[in-house]
A and B are shown apart, each in its own frame.
Chain A
């Protein structure tokens, strides 16, 4: 009988009161007595050892240098492993370093045996990993995961970028150092690094966030569905017969095929075209062909249960007809997530009228996804880049405006009130070098503002972390959904809408004013180009950093001047906390 070795074992990084997530990592069949194997859990290398009827798990890499312990020399009688690289010796059961050159102990992880499966507490591995990341870039010997339970205040992190399958010589460790712990300087690697991006997907898009996925108006009836994304991950949003809106991964549980290919439509069920595995509108697996084989041969194992293979379902919420999904099961309500001030702006636009979808834009953008948030937390650029606005008097540097940030720093609302171009002061004109007087539009209705909202602002741009931009540019209204595809590019899906009750003239007005935005919009195309220029600039000069120093009177947060980058700093305060960097 094999024993479970997690009960009461006080490991370096795991307290018994913390969350436990048992993950099957190997079968006992492959782990013979007196031997070890290396495994990988979410990028962390772990060594599994078998000592008679005991199985133990420790850090897979020596605490001294990059020695792969699963390749080490095991002494079953002593319960030790000797690193193949420099002969450091560790106690397999406790992780204790027994001799030089190692001075730091190995992490030890809880192991459970279930039948022939070896399970490891993946949550514990992740916590240990986070603690390691949060330590300063000290030598391995100085790392004490137990002493660093949280990430707050960590000004200096590191990610081990190592391939455990390769030989020890291929070690590559990269430093991620935020310059001087100063939010007014952003290092380029925040925007260009693949490991940082992967971590964003895991911790932000797949973490405790509400991600925009659809408007309820796109799914009015049972069976209506649209393809969407949470971070880069494709999902299907579907309305089931009970009226519920369901979000599940667009990935068959059999061979991972992205089974739903239509942008939107109506379905009774979802059938993966590859082998016809069939799921209902809630993502439950309801049938697989030839489950019992043919003529007593083939088919699934007798203990195969459909209900163990439902699609990965996400947590779903809806607010004023806007649907959000989260990988986190335990997360605050959407209202709490936004905070009262940003919620008020959200509800000023989604004021209770039923939405009428007018169409979509889709475009790629060769820049890091965060630059799009930053562009809309940067009111400084609006009068400088967007000459059109200034030329035709929609926005000038002296307009009444507000750059609002929620308490966490992740959400923002850039708001301004339209004024007359004639009132621009001489000083302001001089600073806005693109200012051009005397031009008028042949179709001035483009810039008309029909007051329809309970709001002092004619324009609000809300950045709802992490993937939603809510555009209320006078009367042209739109959702912009960020779908990141890597550090250097994202896809933007726009859903333009009006309201039920809009007459023909109002709909036309919204469409006409739509010329301002989108990838061919007078303002929109300039934003896309500018963001591309930023990414180009970073990729061609290594090791650079950005300045976001405007408005030092507001260190990070809400400000009432356009000439400010305080909201960008607030966003990075939050980002660093979430990322542990």
Chain B
């Protein structure tokens, strides 16, 4: 129930819920692009100056910067999309990205929205019955409004399973 005596507070709550809902929809669209291996669409979801990294929790906790994937701008994200789609050799597979436990953490001075969400990537190879949990971790994000669209200005994917199962053939 909305309390009619506190319209300003109610408006803030409604705005927070709308933002939360908007980020969840963004993450669902992000997961769908990766699951369907539409990597150019995936790359379009970042800002031009975006930072995107897939980094082990081991490195992140120790302040070491090495990432499995390390993109300093959207150009590098596009290059990776191109490489995966056009040059990379790997066994065909299906992936399923599940994103949940979204939390909006606050706002940066420049208006970027800080958020985090847990993620799970499940991988199926065509010649094995099991769907294996390929990666589990947390997205630490900065979202930005560009025109009427929401984009990722930063996504740091910090994964818990330090020992990667053979290879990470598609983005997280």
A contacts with B, residue count (CB < 8 A): 42
Is A491 an interface residue when CB atoms closer than 8 A count as contact? yes
B11 to chain A, nearest CB (A): 42
B72 touches A443 (CB 8 A): yes
A360 touches B66 (CB 8 A): yes
Is A138 an interface residue when CB atoms closer than 8 A count as contact? no
A388 touches B163 (CB 8 A): no
Q: Which of A263, A439, A519 contacts B68 (CB 8 A)?
A: A519
Is A530 an interface residue when CB atoms closer than 8 A count as contact? yes
Q: A359-B62, A529-B90 are known contacts; what are 8 more A-B pairs with Cβ within 8 Å?
A: A360-B58, A362-B56, A364-B163, A436-B87, A439-B86, A491-B163, A514-B66, A528-B167
- For residues 4 through 46 of chain B, which have their beta carbon under 8 Å from a beta carbon of chain A? none
Is A98 an interface residue when CB atoms closer than 8 A count as contact? no
Contact with B along A517-552 (1 / 0, CB 8 A): 011101011101110110000000000000000000
Given that A359-B65, A388-B83, A442-B79 are known contacts, is A515 also in contact with B163, CB under 8 Å in the complex?
no
B59 touches A439 (CB 8 A): no
Is A42 an interface residue when CB atoms closer than 8 A count as contact? no
A512 touches B70 (CB 8 A): yes
Given that A443-B75, A512-B70, A515-B70 are known contacts, is A363 also in contact with B166, CB under 8 Å in the complex?
yes
Complex: A366 Cα to B91 Cα, angstroms: 14
Q: Which residue of A lies closest to B63 (CB)?
A: A359
Contact with A along B71-115 (1 / 0, CB 8 A): 111111011101100111111000000000000000000000000
- For residues 429 through 468 of chain A, which have their beta carbon under 8 Å from a beta carbon of chain B? 434, 436, 439, 441-443, 446
A441 touches B79 (CB 8 A): yes
- For residues 317 through 358 of chain A, which have their beta carbon under 8 Å from a beta carbon of chain B? 357-358
A487 to chain B, nearest CB (A): 16
Task: Kindly list chain A residues whose C-beta atoms are within 8 Å of the C-beta of B55.
Answer: 359
A519 touches B168 (CB 8 A): yes
Task: Kindly list chain A residues whose C-beta atoms are within 8 Å of the C-beta of B66.
Answer: 358-361, 496, 511, 514
Complex: A359 Cα to B61 Cα, angstroms: 11
Complex: A315 Cα to B75 Cα, angstroms: 49
Is A365 an interface residue when CB atoms closer than 8 A count as contact? yes
A511 touches B65 (CB 8 A): yes
Q: Which residue of A lies closest to B78 (CB)?
A: A442
B58 touches A522 (CB 8 A): no
Residue of A391, A442, A530, A533 ringed by the most chain B CB atoms within 10 A:
A442
A391 touches B87 (CB 8 A): yes
A–B Cβ pairs within 8 angstroms, 9 of them: A360-B64, A362-B56, A363-B167, A387-B86, A442-B76, A508-B72, A514-B67, A515-B70, A533-B91
Is A137 an interface residue when CB atoms closer than 8 A count as contact? no
Complex: A511 Cα to B54 Cα, angstroms: 12
Complex: A507 Cα to B91 Cα, angstroms: 33
Contact with B along A376-407 (1 / 0, CB 8 A): 00000000010110010000000000000000
Task: Kindly list chain A residues whose C-beta atoms are within 8 Å of the C-beta of B164.
Answer: 361-364, 519-520
A359 touches B59 (CB 8 A): yes
B59 touches A360 (CB 8 A): yes
Task: Kindly list chain B residues whose C-beta atoms are within 8 Å of the C-beta of A357.
Answer: 64
Q: Which of A439, A442, A507, A526 contacts B88 (CB 8 A)?
A: A526
A475 to chain B, nearest CB (A): 14
Task: Kindly list chain B residues whose C-beta atoms are within 8 Å of the C-beta of A532.
Answer: 91, 166
A394 to chain B, nearest CB (A): 12
A525 touches B167 (CB 8 A): yes
- For residues 149 through 169 of chain A, which have their beta carbon under 8 Å from a beta carbon of chain B? none
Q: Which residue of B lies closest to A511 (CB)?
A: B70
Q: Which of B65, B71, B79 contacts A507 (CB 8 A)?
A: B65
A524 touches B167 (CB 8 A): yes
Is B133 an interface residue when CB atoms closer than 8 A count as contact? no
Contact with B along A499-515 (1 / 0, CB 8 A): 00000000110011011
